[in-house]
Copies of this chain bind each other. A is one copy, B any other.
């Protein structure tokens, strides 16, 4: 596990210096994938009792040391197959997303899922305490891929909204409380910062990409942030695309998997708080893919996300802002 952890630290250093970091991401998830493949058991756990039923696997060392649930039809478990599909995906990334086929989207979705789940399940099994690491890696990975797709775009990470707003009063309070030790975890910047913002040179605004492994009680955040941006800049200057992995949870008692969904909440926020441009998952929760959601919000795969973010940047470039 020490080598996985040091590879994670290495990615973080490159990312924080804004240096190319995708190869380091690949080294990390390849090491994690290989460790899981060699040192754990990958086997069926149980199903999500949906329509259709969705089977899930887990990685385990013993009955008490079990990873989060994994979709075996999305996760690429064989290391050789992963290498081949990853090479295909690198070629796909060079093609304009507007001409991606359905197969290309499936490939993109499987690679992101396999990469993030490899790292997350490694930490689930061998480093339980590091709760935030999988989410941080998810951000590293997506930023790395998006930078390769859009080499001329502006990337801004973890922007405190106060800074985007250029609000002197808010900014000063933020800076001051960040400088206080007692604000370390609940600091103003951490509390109200977007994950990733992609801009177009010489244009105001851009595409905000909040990244969350699962949403849970944090689902309100991207909607609230979108509303703040709408209030400050007017509608349409910033567009949010929320990107997640899944909404799954193991149910140990029944040996089944739950997909924790709050369709009423999502509709409520989308209608009355702010409109986000879409929600994307590697493992799209069945409830969110249902027909009644479609009239309110677009919920699709991360394969579709790459196409939609490309379109959103093209649209943004064409605006007069």
Q: Which residues of chain A have a CB within 8 Å of any CB of chain B?
A: 160-162, 165, 167, 169-177, 181-183, 186-188, 191-192, 216-217, 219-221, 223-224, 227-228, 231-232, 249, 251, 258-265, 267-269, 271-273, 287, 292, 296
Contacts of A258 in B (CB 8 A): 181-182
B177, B219, B268: the one within 8 Å of A287 (CB): B177
Q: Given the complex of chains A and B, what is the CA–CA distance between A260 and B217 in angstroms?
A: 21
Asked if A170 contacts B268 (CB within 8 A), the reply is yes
Asked if B228 contacts A186 (CB within 8 A), the reply is no
Q: Is the interface of A mostly helix, strand, loop or mixed?
A: helix
Contacts of A181 in B (CB 8 A): 258
Q: Given the complex of chains A and B, what is the CA–CA distance between A273 and B272 in angstroms?
A: 12
Known: A169-B296, A177-B287, A273-B228. A183 touches B268 (CB 8 A): no
Contacts of A223 in B (CB 8 A): 224
Asked if A264 contacts B170 (CB within 8 A), the reply is yes
Known: A170-B271, A186-B260. A217 touches B231 (CB 8 A): no
* Best-buried of A186, A231, A268 by chain B (most CB within 10 Å): A268
Contacts of A224 in B (CB 8 A): 220, 223-224, 227, 269, 273
B177, B260, B263: the one within 8 Å of A176 (CB): B263
B161, B183, B186, B272: the one within 8 Å of A217 (CB): B186
Q: Given the complex of chains A and B, what is the CA–CA distance between A220 and B217 in angstroms?
A: 11
Distance (whole angstroms) from the CB of A262 to the closest CB of chain B: 5
Contacts of A227 in B (CB 8 A): 224, 227, 272-273
Known: A176-B263, A220-B221, A260-B182. A268 touches B167 (CB 8 A): yes
B160, B171, B216: the one within 8 Å of A186 (CB): B216
Known: A192-B268, A296-B169. A260 touches B220 (CB 8 A): no
* Best-buried of A173, A216, A217 by chain B (most CB within 10 Å): A173
B182, B232, B287: the one within 8 Å of A249 (CB): B182
Q: Given the complex of chains A and B, what is the CA–CA distance between A174 and B187 in angstroms?
A: 33
Contacts of A232 in B (CB 8 A): 272
Q: Given the complex of chains A and B, what is the CA–CA distance between A65 and B216 in angstroms?
A: 31
B187, B262, B268: the one within 8 Å of A262 (CB): B187
Q: Given the complex of chains A and B, what is the CA–CA distance between A258 and B167 in angstroms?
A: 27
Distance (whole angstroms) from the CB of A160 to the closest CB of chain B: 8
A287 — nearest CB in chain B belongs to which residue?
A: B177
Q: Given the complex of chains A and B, what is the CA–CA distance between A249 and B169 in angstroms?
A: 26
Known: A191-B217, A292-B169, A296-B169. A183 touches B262 (CB 8 A): yes
Contacts of A272 in B (CB 8 A): 161, 165, 227-228, 231-232
A218 — nearest CB in chain B belongs to which residue?
A: B217
Asked if A265 contacts B296 (CB within 8 A), the reply is no
Contacts of A188 in B (CB 8 A): 262-265
Contacts of A259 in B (CB 8 A): 182
A171 — nearest CB in chain B belongs to which residue?
A: B264
* Best-buried of A182, A188, A251, A259 by chain B (most CB within 10 Å): A182
